[in-house]
Amino acid sequence: MRAFRDHRKKTGVTATTLNDYLTILSAYFNGAWRDHIISNNPCTAVELVKDSVTPTKRRKQPFSIEQVEALLAKANRDWRGLIRTAFYSGARLENCANLRWRGIDYQKGSITFERYSKIGDDHTVPMHPALREHFLSLKTPKNDDEFLFPSLAGRRVANLSKQFRKIMASARIKNWKVRKGSKTGSKSAPRDVWALGFHSFRRTHVSILANAGVSEEQRIAITANGTREIHKGYTHHQLSPLHKAVSALPSV
């Protein structure tokens, strides 16, 4: 376990991610120990990695409400819709870009993302009133199979991320490098990690809900944040209390 930890550290994996690895592995070993498959948990003797970076300047960050409004002011129609969808749902870039009209249910006040990232299944979240108004302002589709944001659907995430960084630059949003990209063995060049990016909407969404007192269970239910197994534990949730939870998000 120490050799695994030290090897991954040399490849550039952050202390936070390394400690997550050890925590997850330890949980599996604990299960094996309880079932009398092994006599001890090898992770218990492995020290967690200390984070040598400063607490704020060197970590990924959420957007402020002012920054979200600045981005909306510089974005075109499809990008404004994409930004609002991410802000109000906490969904990832690929899921937002490929949202279809059949996933919008005005009667239930919900949005369903197909093949949601990380869990692989469809994922339904409550629709914020401000997002509902935005969807109603869009051109009526010919059929429910059409994409809400046709100019962005089906495009590579890397290309969308690059385009979003241009919107950030146009909005004069200051960004900084968290760390240099590490080699992963792929042919593509390593990508640097920045404090702010499209994924920051997910952090913004969760942070606002947490600060408003929304429970961790409800935050997991809305964002499907975690493994497929963790999320399955919350798939029984009802939308009614989650509507109240997302109402904590301000209108932008």
pLDDT reported for residue 186: 53
Q: How far apart are CA 78 and CA 178, in angstroms?
A: 29
Q: Do 115 and 205 sit in the same domain of this protein?
A: yes
51: in domain: no
- Whether residue 80 sits in one domain with residue 30: no
Whether residues 38 and 163 share a domain: the answer is no
Give me the number of domains the chain comprises. Answer: 2
Q: Please tell me the distance from the alpha carbon of residue 105 to that of residue 89, in angstroms, as a whole number.
A: 14
pLDDT confidence of residue 28? 83
What does the block give as tokens for 135?
């969807």
Q: Are 138 and 76 in a shared domain?
A: yes
**Same structural domain, 242 and 130:** yes
In the prediction, which pLDDT does 157 show?
94
Looking at the domain assignment, is residue 102 inside a domain? yes
> How much is the mean pLDDT over the chain?
84
Q: CB under 8 Å to 106, separation ≥6 — which residues?
A: 127, 132, 136
7 sits in which H/E element: helix 2-10
Domain co-membership, 9 together with 85: no
Buried b or exposed e, range 138-168, using 16+ CB within 10 angstroms: eeeeeeeeebbbeebbeeeeeebeeebbebb
Report if residue 120 sits inside a domain.
Answer: yes
Within-domain flag for 144: yes
Whether residue 119 is found in the same domain as residue 33: no
| CATH code for position 158 | 1.10.443.10
Q: CA-CA distance, 121 to 139, in Å (whole number)? A: 28
Is residue 58 included in any domain, yes or no?
A: no
Write out pLDDT tens, residues 175-209: 988 877 665 555 555 677 888 999 999 989 988 88
Whether residues 130 and 225 share a domain: the answer is yes
Residue 60: inside a domain: no
Residue 32 within any structural domain of the chain? yes
Phi then psi dihedrals of residue 42, to 5 deg? -65, -15
The domain in which residue 150 lies consists of: 65-246
Whether residue 69 is found in the same domain as residue 36:
no
- 24 and 116, same domain (yes or no): no
Does 191 map to a domain? yes
**Two tokens at 192?**
């640097």
What is the Cβ-side half-sphere exposure of residue 117, based on CA atoms within 13 angstroms? Answer: 15
pLDDT in tens, the chain (252 residues): 889 888 888 877 778 778 888 888 888 888 888 889 999 888 888 888 876 554 445 578 899 999 999 999 999 999 999 999 999 999 999 999 999 999 999 999 999 999 887 667 889 999 999 999 999 999 999 999 999 999 999 999 999 999 999 999 999 999 988 877 665 555 555 677 888 999 999 989 988 888 888 887 788 778 876 554 443 443 344 566 677 788 888 888
Residues 33 and 83 in one domain: no
pTM of the shown model: 0.70
Residues 37 and 75 placed together within one structural domain of the fold? no
